[in-house]
Amino acid sequence: MGKPASTSARAKKPVAVPAKKGLVLGGFPGALKWLLDRTDVERLRPTRAVADLLKLDRMHELMRLLGDPHAAVRHVHVAGTKGKGSTCEMTASCLEACGYTVGVYTSPHLVDIRERIRINSRVISHADFARTAQRVADAAANLPDKAGEPTFFELITAMGFLYFAEEAVDVAVIEVGLGGRLDSTNVITPEVAAITSISLDHTQILGDTVEKIAAEKAGIFKPGVPALTIPQKPGVLEVFRDAAARTGCPLQVVGQDIEYTMRFESSPGHGPQARVCLTTPRNNFEHLVVPLRGEHQALNCGLALAVLDALSERGFNTPEAAVTRGLATVRVPGRMEIAWQSPRVLLDGAHNTDSVRALIKAIGANIAYDSMVMIFGCAADKDIDGMLAEIALGADKVVFTRAAASARAADPRELARRFSDTHGKMSQVADDIAQAFAIATRAVNREDLVVVTGSFHLVGEAKKHLAAVAAKRGVATPDRS
């Protein structure tokens, strides 16, 4: 496949060498400890003080000290409340199938921190992780005192940009961490910016209405850079169109400005699946199978195809046959993932009311079961009552627990109390994921389904627990979703 002219001859970019050396990290274990010792906004309770940490000045200075490696790479930038990770994975997989070397930066990780930084589906090696962390640590040591200490997310984002530049990727697909306008990833000027579904989340930081949240997400729009989104709740599109007009970027909505259709079908060989079509003057993607389950994933797939179409206008070659192959290889851990077969265990990182609703709808449309036992734990700052309402409608039995590693996790006993008071339903409580699985598996038979959801931290702990059980028993966990 042909490569874009501006990337085909790119050599590995040398980066600036800071004048002052930072702490000697001492390989991967030291690099990991150094990162985990930094302030981690992902794990803090959202407060005004946390919101004040979100500034781009320090990130710009850190990148300058590294030689601005992000400027050497072409990017796709994806924001949104839900679906941005899946959209990134579908976009990256298709670009890889088209013959490109593709960097992917996502968050959070489920099991291994290296999941956040990948090239062509391979996580960064331990050695490269340690080496890149050391370069970033040296640069951070040269930040002016007034800049303050960089956060975990700023540092690992810088590592991703540095690694992709050093490896001379053709394009990097970058997932926004939180919001958009002040997110550490927003130092880039991408080839195309995309925003997935917007709903209420992180309201203490981003705003208490979908319009305020949309304004933060639209902060990734850049002058002259194509911007794409999907149909949104009333008010959100108006915010996006106003932001695009002020910024001076063309905005298109999949299904409105771009021709898009979706249909569900079921066959004995493949079961329920969605197919999408997206047609533009440049591309005609016809009846492509959506690789991820759920009606919401069909829209995410349409958005990914629209991103590929926008890239094709900017020199990338995205033939339909290669895109079809790319979609067929998409696997997204922690999204409708069947992680165990007997009993069946499904993992999904749904972490707000809309995503829990979409999850239960997707399960009903795609998976046959007699009874659903849900293991649920969420952050204390979420719309707990909204999520509990969806759980009451979809789950037959509920076990409340918490992610041990999350300081933001809600008390499972408080969740159980609110569930009983509001919906009059009984539930059980577990101190951790291992105890939750013990309770849940005693309550199921062969045709039942155990669903773990509520937060990516909880899903990550579930994956670790199941892997440990599999290793103890000498069996393999399913590698499919």
**pLDDT for residue 478:** 59
pLDDT category of residue 1 using cuts at 50, 70 and 90: very low
Which tokens is 453 given? 């959801």
Residues 180, 177: Cα–Cα separation, whole Å: 8
Cα distances (Å, whole numbers) of residue 52 to 43, 47, 49, 65: 15, 9, 5, 23
Least confident of 41-45, 48-52, 272-276: 48-52
Q: Contact at 8 Å (CB) between 379 and 348?
A: no
What's the CATH number of domain 5-328, 3.40.1350.10, 1.10.10.10, 3.40.1190.10, 3.30.460.80?
3.40.1190.10
In terms of Cβ atoms closer than 10 Å to its own Cβ (0-12, 13-18, 19+), residue 279 is middle
> Greater confidence, 179 or 71?
71
**pLDDT for residue 293:** 87
Residues 266, 325: Cα–Cα separation, whole Å: 20
Does the structure show a pLDDT above 90 at 270? no
Which tokens is 294 given? 């759920």
Could you tell me which residues are beta bridge partners of residue 228?
Answer: 194, 252
Residues 297, 448: Cα–Cα separation, whole Å: 24
Which tokens is 81 given? 């409340």
Range(s) of the chain covered by CATH 3.90.190.20: 337-473
pLDDT category of residue 265 using cuts at 50, 70 and 90: confident
The yes or no reply on domain 337-473 and CATH 3.90.190.20 is: yes
Mean pLDDT, the chain, rounded, equals: 90
Does the structure show a pLDDT above 80 at 403? yes
**pLDDT for residue 408:** 83
Share of the chain above pLDDT 90, in %: 74
DSSP codes of every residue in 210-222: HHHHHHHHGGG--
Q: In what order do the strands lie in the sheet with 397-400?
A: 337-341, 344-347, 449-453, 372-376, 397-400, 428-429
Range(s) of the chain covered by CATH 3.40.1190.10: 5-328
| Highest mean pLDDT (candidates 51-55, 94-98, 377-381) | 94-98
**pLDDT for residue 54:** 72
Does the structure show a pLDDT above 50 at 5? no
Q: Where are the beta strands (DSSP E) in 293-404?
A: 337-341, 344-347, 372-376, 397-400
Does the structure show a pLDDT above 60 at 91? yes
| Per-residue pLDDT tens digits for 159-196 | 999 999 999 999 999 999 988 999 999 999 999 999 99
Does the structure show a pLDDT above 90 at 429? yes
